[in-house]
C-alpha cells in the first residue's frame, strides 16, 4: 500500500521498527535552521550518543562545501545523527563513504533498485541524485564526535527539481512504492548503528570493497574540480583505505581527498 505523501512522522512507529530503540533519542521538529547545526550545538552540551534530530523544514539546511540543502515537507526525509566514538580511536577518515554504504543497504533492503554512490557523499540511482550525506566531526574529551546528516528525496516536487543544479531523482521512482518515512528512518538508523560499531574497529578499510561495488564512476573518466586549482582529469580507479579517491592520470596515480567529481566529457 502506498504511503500518503504527507505521512506524519511518529516516534512511536519509528521506535517500534528499531532493533535496539534504547540506543536512540529521537527529536521530531516541524522546522529548524539545520538539524546538523542543532546537534553540533547539543554535542557541546553533552548530548548522548544516538541523539537524532528529524526536521520537516530546514531553513538553512547544509550540503557539502557550503551548499544549501533543499527539502519538501512530506516528500523528503532529512535528519542528523550524533555519534560518539570510543576514546583513543583515530579520526574517522572516510566516514561519509561508509555511511553511504549503510544507506545503500537500507534502501536496497526496502526494494530500491540501481542504487550507486558518488564520491564522496552522493546517493544515486540511474545517474540521478536521490540524496546526500554530510558528516561533520569535532573532538571533545579525547573522543571524536560525528554528526551525520542525511537527506533523501521520497518524491520530487517540480519546484525542488527546478531549483537544483544537478539531475535529481526520488525513491518513489526506483522502488515498487514510495516508502514509509517512519520505516525508512528506522531502517537507516538500524543500519547506521551496525556500521558505526564496526567502523570503530576497522575504519573505512572494512567498507572499501562494499563502497567500490557501488562506485558510480568505477573505471570512467572523471574531472576533479576544486577551488583554487585547475581541473584534474583521469580514470576513477576506486578508493584508498582511508576513503581518498584514486585517480589514474597521465602522470601516475593521484590521491584526491577533497573536490567535486564530474564525468569527463568525451
Of the candidates 202, 225, 213, 183, which has an alpha carbon nearest to the alpha carbon of residue 77? 183
Contact 16, 42 (CB under 8 A): no
CA dist 213 and 116 (Å) reads 8
* Dihedral (Cα; 60, 62, 67, 72), 10-degree rounding: -70
Q: Tell me what pLDDT residue 101 has.
A: 98
Q: Angle formed by the axes of helices 181-202 and 95-109, to 10°?
A: 140
Per-residue pLDDT of the chain (266 residues; tens, 9 = 90+): 344 456 799 999 999 999 999 999 999 999 998 999 999 999 999 999 999 999 998 886 555 444 555 556 678 999 999 999 999 999 999 999 999 999 999 999 999 999 999 999 999 998 899 999 999 999 888 899 999 999 999 998 655 555 555 688 999 999 988 899 999 999 999 999 999 999 999 999 999 999 999 999 999 999 998 877 889 999 999 999 999 999 999 999 999 998 889 877 54
Of the candidates 156, 109, 113, which has an alpha carbon nearest to the alpha carbon of residue 131? 156
**C-alpha 61: how far from its chain's center?**
14
Q: Give 148's strand partners.
A: 81, 135
CA distances, 99 to each of 64, 189, 197 (Å) = 15, 11, 12
Contact 150, 79 (CB under 8 A): yes
Phi and psi at 121, nearest 5°, equal -150, 15
Sheet of 232-239: strand order equals 252-256, 245-249, 232-239, 221-225, 260-263
CA dist 130 and 113 (Å) reads 12
CA dist 106 and 133 (Å) reads 14
Q: What domains lie within the chain, and their CATH numbers?
A: 11-213 (3.30.930.10), 221-263 (2.30.30.100)
Q: Tell me what pLDDT residue 2 has.
A: 43
Amino acid at each position: 500500500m502506498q504511503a500518503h505523501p504527507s505521512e506524519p512522522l511518529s516516534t512511536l512507529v519509528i521506535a517500534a521498527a528499531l532493533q535496539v530503540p534504547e540506543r536512540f533519542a529521537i527529536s521530531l521538529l516541524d522546522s529548524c535552521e539545520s538539524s546538523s547545526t542543532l546537534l553540533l550545538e547539543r554535542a557541546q552540551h553533552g548530548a548522548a550518543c544516538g541523539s537524532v534530530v528529524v526536521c520537516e523544514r530546514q531553513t538553512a539546511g547544509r550540503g557539502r562545501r557550503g551548499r544549501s540543502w533543499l527539502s519538501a515537507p512530506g516528500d523528503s526525509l532529512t535528519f542528523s545523527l550524533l555519534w560518539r566514538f570510543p576514546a583513543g580511536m583515530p579520526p574517522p577518515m572516510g566516514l561519509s563513504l561508509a555511511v553511504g554504504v549503510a544507506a545503500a543497504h537500507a534502501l536496497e533492503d526496502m526494494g530500491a533498485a540501481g542504487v550507486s554512490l558518488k564520491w564522496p557523499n552522493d546517493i544515486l540511482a540511474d545517474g540521478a541524485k536521490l540524496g546526500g550525506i554530510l558528516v561533520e566531526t569535532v573532538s571533545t574529551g579525547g573522543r571524536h564526535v560525528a554528526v551525520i546528516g542525511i537527506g533523501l528525496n521520497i518524491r520530487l516536487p517540480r519546484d525542488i527539481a527546478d531549483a537544483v543544479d544537478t539531475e535529481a531523482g526520488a525513491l518513489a521512482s526506483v522502488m515498487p512504492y514510495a516508502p514509509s518515512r517512519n520505516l525508512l528512518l528506522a531502517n537507516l538508523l538500524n543500519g547506521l548503528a551496525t556500521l558505526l560499531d564496526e567502523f570503530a574497529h576497522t575504519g573505512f578499510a572494512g567498507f572499501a570493497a562494499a563502497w567500490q561495488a557501488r562506485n558510480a564512476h568505477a573505471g570512467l573518466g572523471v574531472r576533479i574540480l576544486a577551488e583554487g586549482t585547475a581541473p584534474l582529469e583521469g580514470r576513477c580507479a576506486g578508493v584508498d583505505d582511508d576513503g581518498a579517491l584514486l585517480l589514474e592520470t597521465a602522470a601516475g596515480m593521484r590521491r584526491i581527498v577533497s573536490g567535486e567529481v564530474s564525468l569527463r566529457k568525451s
